Amino acid sequence: MGFSLLPDRVIGSIFNLNVKALAEGGVRLLLADLDNTIVPYSVSEPTEQVFSWVNRLDQNGIRLFIISNNRSKTRIKQYCARLGVPYVDHAGKPGTRSFLRAMEQMHVSPRQTAVIGDQIFTDVLGAKRAGLFVILVRPIDLSHPLRALRYQMERPVIAAAKRKMNR
């Protein structure tokens, strides 16, 4: 099975997501990375803006499901409990197991599923390997030198994805 590193869409943040268009396209499940996609690594509580975003998803018939490689069971568990969403921690992205498990748990097909994340080599690669529609967001916090370096390495792929979107 072939796959690409190119996301299907590139947007600035989760708050720029066209939720209505996703719903009209048949999406019923949004699999999302947590750290640096929804919140910075240092934030342990959902903000009002995040609650509002999840509510907008729900109003459009889209269920949020967090898939995180974060190894802190308590952080992911507490954050998702407060937000009222299911999750998989220690997801093993770019492996496909967590994506497939989430779709099975939520009783949806790949055609009804989209993924949103901030990393090409985990979120995009794993989702593409699972045959899913992928939206890449700009990482929230690039203050850590290794994150900034990773983002710089991903820039050519992001540029290619933007060119593809503009065709």
| More confident position, 107 or 162 | 107
pLDDT at 2: 57
* Domains of the chain and any CATH numbers: 9-165 (3.40.50.1000)
Predicted pLDDT at 72: 81
pLDDT at residue 14 above 90?
yes
97-156 pLDDT per residue, tens:
999 999 999 999 999 999 999 999 899 999 999 999 999 999 887 666 676 666 666 776
Residue 72 phi, psi dihedral angles, 5° rounding: -85, 100
Q: Identify the CA nearest to 155 among candidates 145, 143, 163, 166.
A: 163
Q: What is the pLDDT of residue 22?
A: 97
Predicted pLDDT of residue 87: 96
DSSP string, 12-58: S-GGG--HHHHHHTT--EEEE--BTTTB-TT--S--HHHHHHHHHHH
Structure confidence by residue, pLDDT tens digits, 26-62: 999 999 999 999 999 888 899 999 999 999 999 999 9
Q: Residue 141: its pLDDT value, please? A: 78
